[in-house]
Structure 1
Amino acid sequence: MSAIARRVSTTIFAPATSQGLSRDPSQIQQWRGIRVKVYEGNLDRALTMMQRKMQSSGMERLIKEEQTHHIKNSEKRVLARKNLERRLRSENLARKLQTILIRKIRTA
């Protein structure tokens, strides 16, 4: 967990100027970080809440993308298959929406 915490602290709390970002408020928003309150000294619950917030905000995905360790071939195949399925789903959805729009335009 400490390695992830170090990555998160360097990723989240880095000042906007050092990362080459402008002072645009929409870009600064992503660098504000995740805050979790610890109630009654229950650190385990706070860590699980932080993990949920990281997953929901997409932060965990960004951290995993930045990791530079070796990825096994089996993991690469799984990721490639998931990306292919995601791309095919989005293409099918785009195709369906396009046919619906064409029908609406022709009938209108």
Structure 2
Amino acid sequence: MNFISRQVGSLLTRPSQIINSVLCQNHQVQQWRGIRVKVRFGNLEQALTLMQRKMQSSGMERLIKRRQTHHIKNSEKRVLARKNLERKIRSQDLARKLKAILVKKVRGL
């Protein structure tokens, strides 16, 4: 929660710098996503939790975490590598199955 509030605070204090850095990152133009949350009855904690949920569902939290430059433990690297490998293998298997189905359709079998 503190991480998100710091990021939001930086967005509020210097929005033009953040927008420019997001838009110019890796020389690719990315769409700027805005999230608005109303603070009702002065309840800031509830508004922050609602904002966190909206950020998670929109994918903005992933973009912020991807920009972090901190040390990643070797165990975390192994887990991420294994997940990426499993995802790649699943994708290749699916592509192989689809290709086999298409070949059968084309041949009329």
Shorter-chain TM-score above 0.5: yes
- Separation in 2, partners of 1:12, 1:74: 35
Which of 6, 14, 20 is the equivalent residue of 2:19? 14
User: What is aligned with 1:5?
Assistant: 8
Change beyond 3 A, Cα 1:51–1:74: same
Residue 3 of structure 1 aligns with an amino acid whose one-letter code is: R
- Separation in 2, partners of 1:97, 1:55: 32
Change beyond 3 A, Cα 1:13–1:100: same
The gaps in structure 1 that reach 5 residues or longer are: none
User: What is aligned with 2:48?
Assistant: 47
Kept after mapping to 2: 8 A contact 1:36/1:50: yes
Residue 4 of structure 1 aligns with an amino acid whose one-letter code is: Q
Q: How many residues align structurally?
A: 100
| Deviation beyond 3 Å, 4+ runs, structure 1 | 10-13
User: What is aligned with 1:62?
Assistant: 63
Q: Secondary structure at the match of 1:31?
A: coil
- Cα displacement string for residues 17-49 of structure 1 (whole angstroms, at most 9, x for unaligned residues): x73666xxxx5xx21411112222222222222
Change beyond 3 A, Cα 1:21–1:86: closer
Q: How far did 1:76 drift?
A: 0.8
- Cα displacement string for residues 73-97 of structure 1 (whole angstroms, at most 9, x for unaligned residues): 1111111111111111211122222
Q: Secondary structure at the match of 2:75?
A: helix
User: What is aligned with 2:81?
Assistant: 80
> TM-score, normalised to structure 1's length?
0.71
User: What is aligned with 1:96?
Assistant: 97
Q: Percent same amino acid among aligned pairs?
A: 63
Residue 91 of structure 1 aligns with an amino acid whose one-letter code is: Q
Q: Secondary structure at the match of 2:40?
A: coil
- Separation in 2, partners of 1:106, 1:12: 58
